[in-house]
Structure 1
Amino acid sequence: MDPYELLGVDRDADDAAIKKAYRKLARQYHPDVNPDPVAQEKFKEVSHAYEILSDPQKRAAFDRGGDPFAGGFGAGQGFSFTDIMDAFFGGAGQGGAANGRGPRPRVRRGQDALIRLDIELAEAAFGVTHELKVDTAVVCDTCHGAGAAAGTQPKICETCRGAGEVAHVQRSFLGEIRTLRPCAACRGFGTIIADPCRDCGGDGRVRSRRTLTVKIPAGVDTGTRVQLAEQGEVGPGGGPAGDLYVEINVARHETFTRHGNDLHCTVTIPMTAAALGTTMSLPTLEADLPDADPEDSTFELEIKPGTQSGTEQVLRERGVPGLRGGRGSLVVTIHVETPTRLDSAQEELLRQLAVARDEEQPEGHLRASGKGVFGRFRDAFNGR
């Protein structure tokens, strides 16, 4: 029967149209999908037609009116199992070529690399430039990535003849099913390096320690990754390098705690300063920078008379700069310290103050926050 009619394509159909028609019919009549004996016979006919039209020589022989299998192949033989898989999954098989066949490329992109960098809080907040020593694969200087010794070149694999794949034929009710597997002799490359470079062993790359300069932007935090394009591992065969990622770890600060872009700190003042009020000059985070401007190294904190312990003061634009602009606040919590060791003179002065303020026998004040323990006892005694 006419293979063009079996596949339902025109006589001038290109390879893509023929393969598309075959895939559609194969999915319809394949025995795993359609167990009907008639469908199985139809699948054999469709496969036979595709075998003719997918082979330029067989197709030309049929178009001339000759026998496309005059070379000794029987109907349904030499059929590729890869074509059946393409019919069901529509994808390419393994290999380097676009149609899933062909040798693997020796030159491939390298892997990305990751290193961790410890920096101080001020460096994370305002940015810093660091020098890093990294161990990665680099192009072999001896063979320049070729992998072969000087004066030699890779040779075509005699087993697969440069295809990178070898065919394995298996008989089935469909005929001879041919599957393609990577060539074991050349590992799928299609070529063999008979005399590899002594320095890289034929890989085209060696490991080396090198120094890089990385600029850490202002506003980074623990877990932030800075990408250095093409500074990672060089690929096999001297292929393009992957990227290097620098993961930031910010050290703990003895004064400031970071929450997002805000900085928090606690200032302890004596009871007298809290009662009378005062002004204090305190260091900022910028003071940790080696080239800090003196004007930015301190800030004035005004303690108002009667300040209570736990009071917070928010200083705008004194926190950490954001990666996308803006700057957080500095939140200062006031802790009032009660003296614990008094000499007799100090104790007498406080007693005089207590008398003057009528606080010799102070009454405590309970703040209502729902029904506490005393409220529940009172309700119990009142029968509520």
Structure 2
Amino acid sequence: RDVGYELPLSFLEAALGCKKQIKISRLETCAEFSGKGTAKGTNPETCPDCGGSGQVRTQRRTPFGVIQSMGACSKCGGKGKIIRDPCKKCKGLGRVRVSKTLEVSVPAGIDNGQTFILRGQGDHGVNGGPAGDVNVTVSVRPDPTFERDGFDVWCDIPLTFAQATLGDEITVPTIDGKAKYSVPEGTQNGTVFRLRGKGIPYLNGRDKGDQYVRVQIEVPRNLSGKQKEALKNFDATMNEKNYEKRKSFFDRFKDMAGK
């Protein structure tokens, strides 16, 4: 059968892909006597009730006549064999539970709650049957800088009043490292700009999403007296052309008051 495993990842590990070691518990074929489940020097016996088929025919009388059906043999549990002297290691089951360490390659672009499969790494099959899989479900921890939206990445970046007013070349963090961006003069708080191809890789694809950067203008605090005076002198030089949104708002307010 399949084995489940939950793998915790950081935001960047999920976005870029990584290699991890995981430790699972699975059933493996008992190394003693090729998993037959018998003690040394003995072999399983053919079940006398089902003749080794694992199934028996039953009859049941009903008002409509006798109904015949096939079902699992109760003596051998449907196995067709009976173990008189079981292996001490596996207790006759033919499989033992072991702890196994596996190295896994996490695909780039995987998202929180998604699952990737390790084929044939689950429980070993009974009587030489095929092995199950390991279903690895990822749990991605929140990141203090980045947020994910599909294959796009969002982040906030603080700007000073002077940077937003005059424009500036800034350094923006991305999942691939640092990138340069020229902020135009007059940038307003909440403005969003896009860095194409700086997002998360598409699963099993060559394309990538984009990164969106949201501007947060930080109002200065703890100003000295000299700084406050300089700011007042600067504000005194401002006029309506410098504050278009403010002018538009108060113009609408005047129109409403005049009605």
Shared fold by TM > 0.5?
yes
Structure 1 residues 236, 303: closer, same or farther in 2, change over 3 A? same
Structure 2: which 5+ residue stretches go unaligned? none
Structure 1 residues 368, 121: closer, same or farther in 2, change over 3 A? farther
| Deviation at residue 174 of structure 1 after TM alignment | 5.6
> More strand by proportion, 1 or 2?
2
Aligned residue for 2:214, secondary structure, equals strand
Superposed, which structure 2 residues align to 1:57-206 within 5 Å?
111-172=1-62, 176-206=66-96
Aligned residue for 2:96, secondary structure, equals strand
Higher Cα Rg, which structure? 1
| Deviation at residue 223 of structure 1 after TM alignment | 2.0
Structure 1 residues 247, 171: closer, same or farther in 2, change over 3 A? closer
Aligned residue for 1:227, secondary structure, equals strand
* Contact 1:128 1:218 survives alignment (8 Å): yes
Per-residue deviation, residues 109-162 of structure 1 (Å, max 9, x unmatched)? xx1111011112222122111111111111111132211122211112223333
| Deviation at residue 367 of structure 1 after TM alignment | 8.2
Q: Which residue among 229, 238, 246 is the counterpart of 1:357?
A: 238
Per-residue deviation, residues 330-378 of structure 1 (Å, max 9, x unmatched)? 111111122233221111111111222248xx97642899xx9x95xx6
Give, in whole Å, the separation in 2 of the partners of 1:163 and 1:216. Answer: 44
- Per chain length, whose mean CA-contact separation is higher, i.e. which structure has more relative contact order (CA < 8 Å, sep 6+)? 2
| Deviation at residue 166 of structure 1 after TM alignment | 3.8
- Identical aligned residues as a percent: 34
| Deviation at residue 199 of structure 1 after TM alignment | 0.8
Give the RMSD, CA atoms, in angstroms: 2.6
> More helix by proportion, 1 or 2?
1
* Contact 1:225 1:248 survives alignment (8 Å): yes
Matched, 1:348 2:221: no
| Deviation at residue 172 of structure 1 after TM alignment | 4.9
* Contact 1:261 1:328 survives alignment (8 Å): yes
Matched, 1:223 2:223: no
Q: Which residue among 357, 366, 373 is the counterpart of 2:249?
A: 366
Give, in whole Å, the separation in 2 of the partners of 1:338 and 1:134. Answer: 52
Q: How many residues end up aligned between the 2 structures?
A: 253
Structure 1: which 5+ residue stretches go unaligned? 1-110, 287-296
Normalised to the residue count of structure 2, the TM-score between the two structures is 0.87
Q: Which residue among 193, 206, 211 is the counterpart of 1:325?
A: 206
* Contact 2:174 2:211 survives alignment (8 Å): no
One-letter amino acid of the structure 2 residue matched with residue 128 of structure 1: C
* Contact 1:147 1:237 survives alignment (8 Å): no
Give, in whole Å, the separation in 2 of the partners of 1:171 and 1:333. Answer: 78
One-letter amino acid of the structure 2 residue matched with residue 240 of structure 1: P
Structure 1 residues 272, 229: closer, same or farther in 2, change over 3 A? same
